[in-house]
């Protein structure tokens, strides 16, 4: 079995920026998961992929992993938020990146 660190290192190149339009369909199927900035996206993806239920459950309980709320979705519709994404089937893990106004 592949180690957590090796899996994390494989996921780092798979993370990337994305806009709301690409992510919107994943909300309706319940697959979009918000990852707190307190967590490393690749490490979180590795934990999800390895089905580390205790760790993932703790992150959900503490609010470090969550599903988007209707008010968040409404805010994202304005197009002022970018996302750092990682697909871990069947989920799409995202971290929010607020756009800087010029």
In order along its 102 residues, the chain shows pLDDT tens digits of 565 565 545 555 456 677 888 888 999 899 999 999 999 998 999 999 999 999 999 999 999 999 999 999 999 988 888 899 999 989 999 998 755 554
CB 85 within 8 Å of CB 20: no
The C-alpha R_g of the chain, in whole angstroms, comes to 14
Both tokens assigned to 12: 């780092």
Q: Which domain holds residue 68?
A: 4-98
Split into its structural domains, the chain has a count of 1
Evaluate if pTM is beyond 0.75: yes
Both tokens assigned to 48: 């999800």
Helix-, strand-, coil-residue percentages of the chain, each rounded to 5: 45, 25, 30
| DSSP, residue by residue, 40-53 | -HHHHHHHHHTT-H
């Amino acid at each position: 079995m592949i180690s957590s660190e090796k899996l994390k290192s494989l996921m780092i190149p798979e993370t990337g920026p994305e806009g709301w339009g690409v992510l919107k369909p994943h909300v309706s199927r319940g697959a979009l998961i918000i990852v707190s900035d307190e967590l490393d996206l690749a490490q979180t993806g590795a934990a999800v992929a390895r089905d580390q239920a205790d760790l993932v459950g703790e992150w959900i309980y503490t609010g470090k992993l969550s599903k988007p709320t209707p008010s968040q979705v409404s805010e994202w519709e304005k197009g002022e938020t970018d996302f750092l994404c990682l697909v871990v089937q069947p989920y799409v893990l995202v971290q929010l990146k607020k756009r800087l106004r010029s």
